[in-house]
Structures are given as C-alpha cells and as structure tokens.
C-alpha cells in the first residue's frame, strides 16, 4: 500500500531558496508507485499545500492534515527538506514528536544540539582519531574580553555564528585588528559566536546514513576552493569550488575517515542522512571536525546526490530506503 508523505520545504531563514531546490530534487526522485507526495511550503505567512490545479490550501496544524475537495488527508510521515530554522534546529521535530508523526531526520534533541557548533564540538571532542580546533564561545551580551581571546588563540581565527548553516556570517581573520569587524558581522546572524583557530589543510565532506538497519558511509568528497574558505558563494555558485567524489585518498585514510564519521553519527545519536565536514591538517595525518549538517542539501549539485551516484545507487532507491528506515 502507498505511503502518504508530506515533503516539507521553505523555512524562515536565508536558506529557504536552497530548501526549495532540495525539495525539487527529492520530489523528482520519490517513487510515485510507492508514495503519494504532497509538497508543503512553510513560510512566515503560514504552511500551505499548493496543488497545480487549484488555490493553495493551508495545513491544519492541530493534526498536520489537509482538507482537499471535501476529503481529509492525513500523513504517514514527513520528509523534512528545510535547511536552517525551523527544520534543522529541532523545532519541527518536537512538533511532529507530539503528534506521533515520524519524519526523515535526526530527533529534536540531536537537531537542536547540532545546530550549536560549540555544543557539538564539546560532545565529539573525545572521539578516537578525531581532533577539534581550539576555540572560544562568546555571547552578544556576555562579558567577553577581546584581548584575552587574542592571547588564548593563535591567529588566524575563524569566526562563526554558533547556530545556523550555509556559512552565512562567517569570516576568516588574519590580523587581530580585524576581529571586531568579524564579530559585528557574525552577531548580525546570531547571539552566540564561535571563535576558533584556523586549521589549514584539505577539506572533506562525508555523507552518513542508516539504510537497511546499517550505518553506511557514502563515498567521500574533497572540496577545493580558491576562496579563503568554503562560504555560501563557494557552496552554491557553480565553478567557484572544485568537488571530487570519491576523494583521492588511500585505503587507510579512507577507512579512518569512515570510522570517525560513523563514530560521530553514533555519538550524536543521528538518524536519516547527515553530512559531516572535516579538515585533514597540512603536514600531519590528523583529521579535525568542522561541523555536522543534519539536513544536508539535496539540490542537483549537492554533495549527497553526488555521493549516492558515486556509490552506484539511484536517488530514487536511496530516498525509498531512507523513508523506509525512518518512517516505516
């Protein structure tokens, strides 16, 4: 029997445009023989289903249902394709938990914690073979001391809004006098900021997913960009970054990355598909944790579709297995 799936897209942040593109890829690759799919747009104005043949219909948020042509549509589960808030920070997950409606992502607790880069680093820092850069977490209204930060951390620094994704509000600071400007930029995006020592090296991103009851590490992608770091422009502008999947790594390093990524997935109690970013430090053999993305992009050029293809699997089959694993 077909499952009735809500494909939830949109959101309330600057990442909405990417969420819409991700949902388009997912919709094109969901098996219509197995799933009846209703794409639902979440915005500041409301939650709406927009059928091609009629006016948009508002979702009844009391039970997450739709009234269509006199018929009430209830869902078997939700494919969450919203990057940033409220899809990736645990808010929607908590709502669906209360409705006892299954969904494709990490649970509310993991989603909320992993949106906070500082908290995530504190949890993963004791994983074997994994390193984390030295950092300081500061708050907008806190009594932080810039001179103390400059003493505690070695230049250059990475300044990151502690919550959020897509590298919005991030800066690389190569001179201490530029710290204030970078803090001002980041505080426009968030009330918490992570300042960490910059780790120079090769950057890799790793998709991890549980399929058929087994944690699977997808083929690794190496990311090279002429920019100082892999920012929003580098992520979403064709040609700015070079992405190689599978990454040119020897068997030992490949196996080590897979072991680390699996441990991160387990330690953070992940479910569904996530993407974990690492740096292999120049001059050493050490992997450093950058961040985890619990609702990674699914646009046609995103990493996860690239990695699924490199594994020799069709996206259609991948999404079917993902839904069966998380929704049933």
Model confidence pLDDT, tens digit, residues 294-326: 999 999 889 999 999 999 999 999 999 999 999
Q: What is the mean pLDDT of residues 244-271?
A: 97
- What percent of the chain clears pLDDT 70, i.e. is strictly above it? 95
- Could you identify the residue written with the tokens 């590298």? 167
Q: What is the pTM of this model?
A: 0.91
Those residues whose C-beta lies under 8 Å from the C-beta of residue 181, and which sit 6 or more positions away, are 171
101, 123: one domain: no
For 220, the domain range is 113-132+199-314+321-326
Residue ending a domain, choose from 177, 197, 217: 197
Q: Which residue has the higher pLDDT, 234 or 245?
A: 245
79: which 2 tokens?
């494919």
Given a contact cutoff of 8 angstroms between Cβ atoms, the answer to whether 166 and 84 are in contact is yes
Q: CA-CA distance, 231 to 12, in Å (whole number)? A: 20
**Domains in the chain: how many in total?**
3
120, 214: one domain: yes
72, 33: one domain: yes
Alpha helices in 60-187 (DSSP H): 91-98, 108-114, 117-124, 146-152, 179-187
145, 265: one domain: no
Residue ending a domain, choose from 151, 175, 197: 197
- Could you identify the residue written with the tokens 């505080």? 187
Q: Give φ, ψ of 259 to 5 degrees.
A: -65, -45
Q: Which of 17, 91, 13, 78 has the alpha carbon at shortest distance from 49?
A: 78
Give the CATH number, domain containing residue 183: 3.30.1490.20
**R_g of the chain computed on alpha carbons:** 20
Name 67's bridge partners. Answer: 72
Give the CATH number, domain containing residue 76: 3.40.50.20
- What percent of the chain clears pLDDT 90, i.e. is strictly above it? 81
| pLDDT reported for residue 165 | 53
Those residues whose C-beta lies under 8 Å from the C-beta of residue 182, and which sit 6 or more positions away, are 157, 159, 171, 173
Helix (H, G, I), strand (E, B) or coil at 3: strand
126, 239: one domain: yes
224, 121: one domain: yes
Q: What is the mean pLDDT of residues 118-141?
A: 95
183, 71: one domain: no
19, 100: one domain: yes
| pLDDT reported for residue 142 | 84
- Cα 128 to chain center, whole Å? 23
- pLDDT per position as a tens digit, 178-236: 999 999 999 988 899 999 999 999 999 999 999 999 999 999 999 998 755 544 454 55
Give the CATH number, domain containing residue 295: 3.30.470.20
Residue ending a domain, choose from 197, 215, 238: 197
119, 174: one domain: no
- pLDDT per position as a tens digit, 60-83: 999 999 999 899 999 999 999 999
| pLDDT reported for residue 166 | 47
Q: Give φ, ψ of 221 to 5 degrees.
A: -110, 135
272: which 2 tokens?
């569904």
| pLDDT reported for residue 237 | 57
Average pLDDT, the chain: 92
- pLDDT per position as a tens digit, 37-68: 999 999 999 999 988 777 899 999 999 999 99
267, 278: one domain: yes
18, 71: one domain: yes
| pLDDT reported for residue 238 | 57
47, 173: one domain: no
Given a contact cutoff of 8 angstroms between Cβ atoms, the answer to whether 84 and 15 are in contact is yes
Characterize the bridge pairing of strands 57-58 and 66-68.
unpaired
Which of 87-91, 155-159, 254-258, 272-276 shows the lowest mean pLDDT across its residues?
155-159
Those residues whose C-beta lies under 8 Å from the C-beta of residue 145, and which sit 6 or more positions away, are none
């Amino acid at each position: 029997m077909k499952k009735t799936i809500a494909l939830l897209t949109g959101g309330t942040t600057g990442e909405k445009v990417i969420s819409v593109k991700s949902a388009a890829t997912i919709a094109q690759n969901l098996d219509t023989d197995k799933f009846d799919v209703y794409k639902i747009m979440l915005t500041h104005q409301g939650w709406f289903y927009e059928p091609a043949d009629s006016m948009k219909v508002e979702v009844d948020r009391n039970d997450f249902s739709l009234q269509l042509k006199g018929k009430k549509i209830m869902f078997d589960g939700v494919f969450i394709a919203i990057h940033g808030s409220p899809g990736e920070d645990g808010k929607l997950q908590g709502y669906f938990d209360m409705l006892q409606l299954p969904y494709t992502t990490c649970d509310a607790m993991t989603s909320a914690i992993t949106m906070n880069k500082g908290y995530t680093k504190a949890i993963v820092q004791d994983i074997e073979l994994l390193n984390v850069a030295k950092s300081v977490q500061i708050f907008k209204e806190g009594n932080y001391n810039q001179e103390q930060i400059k003493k505690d951390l070695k230049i250059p620094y990475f300044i990151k809004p502690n919550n959020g994704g897509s590298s919005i509000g991030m800066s690389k600071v190569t001179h201490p006098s530029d710290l204030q400007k970078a803090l001002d930029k980041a505080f426009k995006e968030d009330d918490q900021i992570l300042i960490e020592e910059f780790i120079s090296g090769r950057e890799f991103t790793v998709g991890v997913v549980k399929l058929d009851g087994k944690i699977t590490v997808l083929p690794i992608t190496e990311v090279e960009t002429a920019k100082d770091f892999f920012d929003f422009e580098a992520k979403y502008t064709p040609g700015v970054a070079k992405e190689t999947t599978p990454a040119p790594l020897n068997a030992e390093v490949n196996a080590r990355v897979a072991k680390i990524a699996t441990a991160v997935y387990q330690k953070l109690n992940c479910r569904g598909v996530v993407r974990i970013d690492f740096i292999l430090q120049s001059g050493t053999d050490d992997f450093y944790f950058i961040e985890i993305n619990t609702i990674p992009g699914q646009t046609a050029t995103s990493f996860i579709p690239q990695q699924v293809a490199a594994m020799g699997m069709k996206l259609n089959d991948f999404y079917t297995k993902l839904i069966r694993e998380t929704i049933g």
